[in-house]
Amino acid sequence: MQAPSSLKKLLTLWLVGPLLALIVVSAVPGYFLAVRAANDAYDNGLLDPAIAIANYVRENEDDVQVTVPPAAIEALRIDTIDRIFFRVTGPANDMIAGNAFIPLPDLPMDTTAQSLYSTVLEGQAVRVAAISIPRRNGNVLVQVAETTLKRERLLQDILVGALTPAILVAVTAAILFWFGIRRSLLPLAHLRDEIERRSPSDLGAVSGSGAPLEVRPLVFAINQLLARLEQALEAQQRFIANAAHQLRTPLAGLRTHVELMRREAGKNGASTLIDMISGETERASHLANQLLTLARAEPGSSLPIARVPVNLRELVFQSVQAWVPRSLVRDIDLGFDLADAHTLGDPQLLRELLANLLDNALIHTPRGGRVTVRTRREQGFAFLEIEDDGPGIPESERQRVFERFYRLPGTTTEGGGLGLAIVHEIADRHQASVKLLTPPSGHGLLVRVSFSEYE
């Protein structure tokens, strides 16, 4: 799978890349023209001493002489950077005057001509100006050679002078492009922030008033998707609520008839069957109530939740009377360790969360076991904890048990697999976290719900 690319990087690359190419294309010809002009100027300057020496060539009847004044020789040595060499070669290829054996040109110079060429002298690169002078006995060759240090420095200066403005222009353009692109993409960042700040239940249209024209089709498509999603969630909520309500009505009637039958059970010995019907009715009624709670607690619910100060200690204390009789019937020691723990939330939903946690604990704790409810506060959090000494939940299953209708393999106890799913949804609606832990005793289960503390 190809890694995602940054839009900023792509735009910068497509803008700066062609700009650099244009800078290079425009700078290279200028550089070579400057180099050529500089070399021509140095070559012309090198021809001057060759011509001057050629003027001192004198031909006698028997030989050729060169009478270069000492002042002219000194003039050749005044360069403090490059070294100057000269040589005058007679018709017999003998050196008449000079201070070095300068290599001859590649082409013969048997007529009046001038030549400029590069060669190596005494291990150094030199540029040579050669002039062929026709005489009665043959041509005299005058050569003046100069090392290329000044030329090389000039070429470096030209190169630096050509590249420095180009680099500065490229860097400045890249910085300007980057800031311009970043500012142009700010509407996308604002759109992202607006969507990130939304709660799962907020499916209203995204505002596209400040978005550029190119982004508005994207905003329109997002709003259409949100509208379809809201309709789907509302339809789901209506279905769950209607189904649960439709179940509650016949279940309530069935429970009434079961009670009437129980009164007559002693006459025909049908008490066992009636108890079975009653238990199944209770479980069906409990499932309907759980479905209603789930419909209200899950994201996207059209039912708003309250945000009022709640003391978890008082909430647990008010629910004690409903759970103590059930724990006594199951011979379970239900204990309470309660301290003030304040948070913001919906009291009804929080009572449902507590009820599902206690229901799970009492169902899975064997007879003679213990269940402890705790509330406390610590480091800016309010905690609700339910601890039991039942079989616990393996660590490998502690994520899956929050799925709806999921039950641990091999479970034989009653329950529909919705309890912890409801707890998780209610905690999410309160921006709380639910953790399944192993108690300090090493066996059983400790469920810890962490809320933000409200002072």
**What is the pLDDT, as a whole number, of residue 333?**
92
Per residue in 249-278, pLDDT (tens digit) is 666 766 776 677 767 665 555 666 666 666
Q: Which residue has the higher pLDDT, 18 or 427?
A: 427
What is the C-alpha R_g of the chain?
A: 49
Same domain membership, residue 20 and residue 89:
yes
Average predicted confidence (pLDDT) for the chain: 79
Residue 179 pLDDT greater than 90, yes or no = no
Same domain membership, residue 292 and residue 314:
no
- Residue 36 sits in a domain whose CATH number is 3.30.450
Per residue in 373-418, pLDDT (tens digit) is 999 999 999 999 999 998 888 888 888 888 877 777 766 666 566 7
- Is 243 inside any structural domain? yes
- Is 160 inside any structural domain? no
Residue 303 pLDDT greater than 60, yes or no = no
**What is the pLDDT, as a whole number, of residue 382?**
95
Same domain membership, residue 140 and residue 84:
yes
CB 269 within 8 A of CB 246: no
Q: Are strands 124-135 and 138-147 parallel, antiparallel or unpaired?
A: antiparallel
- Is 284 inside any structural domain? yes
Same domain membership, residue 440 and residue 338:
yes
Q: How far apart are the first and last CA of the chain?
A: 49
pLDDT more than 70, % of the chain: 77
Band (pLDDT 50/70/90 cuts) for residue 248 is low
- Is 179 inside any structural domain? no
- Is 209 inside any structural domain? no
- Residue 446 sits in a domain whose CATH number is 3.30.565.10
Domain boundary residue, one of 257, 277, 297: 297
CA distance 349 to 357: 12
Same domain membership, residue 47 and residue 143:
yes
Cβ burial 22-54 (10 Å sphere, 16+ → b, else e) = ebeeebeeebeebbeebbeebeeebbebbebbb
- SS3 assignment, position 329: helix
Cβ burial 234-243 (10 Å sphere, 16+ → b, else e) = eeebeebbee
Residue 311 pLDDT greater than 90, yes or no = yes
Same domain membership, residue 149 and residue 121:
yes
Residue 285 pLDDT greater than 90, yes or no = no
**What is the pLDDT, as a whole number, of residue 1?**
43
Band (pLDDT 50/70/90 cuts) for residue 60 is confident
Domain boundary residue, one of 297, 319, 346: 297
- Is 63 inside any structural domain? yes
Q: Which residue has the higher pLDDT, 370 or 234?
A: 370
pTM above the 0.85 mark? no
- Is 180 inside any structural domain? no
Q: Which long-range contacts (CB under 8 A, 24 or more apart) does 75-82 make?
A: 75/49, 76/49, 76/144, 79/146, 81/149, 81/150, 81/153, 82/146, 82/147, 82/148, 82/149, 82/150
Per residue in 316-356, pLDDT (tens digit) is 988 877 888 888 888 999 999 999 999 999 888 898 899 88
The count of other CB atoms within 10 Å of the CB of residue 422 is: 24
By residue range, what is the domain housing residue 254?
225-297
∠ CA 341-343-346, nearest 5°, is 125
Same domain membership, residue 263 and residue 342:
no
Same domain membership, residue 65 and residue 13:
yes
Same domain membership, residue 414 and residue 275:
no
Choose the weakest-confidence range: 30-39, 230-239, 439-448: 230-239
CA distance 202 to 195: 10
**What is the pLDDT, as a whole number, of residue 448?**
95
The count of other CB atoms within 10 Å of the CB of residue 426 is: 28
Sign for the pseudo-dihedral over CA of 251, 252, 255, 261: negative
- Residue 266 sits in a domain whose CATH number is 1.10.287.130
- Is 192 inside any structural domain? no
Same domain membership, residue 268 and residue 343:
no
Domain boundary residue, one of 105, 133, 155: 155
Per residue in 143-164, pLDDT (tens digit) is 888 888 888 888 788 777 777 8
**What is the pLDDT, as a whole number, of residue 241?**
66
- Structurally, the chain folds into a number of domains equal to 3
CB 58 within 8 A of CB 64: yes
CA distance 186 to 175: 17
**What is the pLDDT, as a whole number, of residue 181?**
76
Per residue in 419-447, pLDDT (tens digit) is 788 888 888 888 899 999 999 888 899 99
Same domain membership, residue 102 and residue 26:
yes
Mean pLDDT of 101-107: 79
Same domain membership, residue 31 and residue 136:
yes
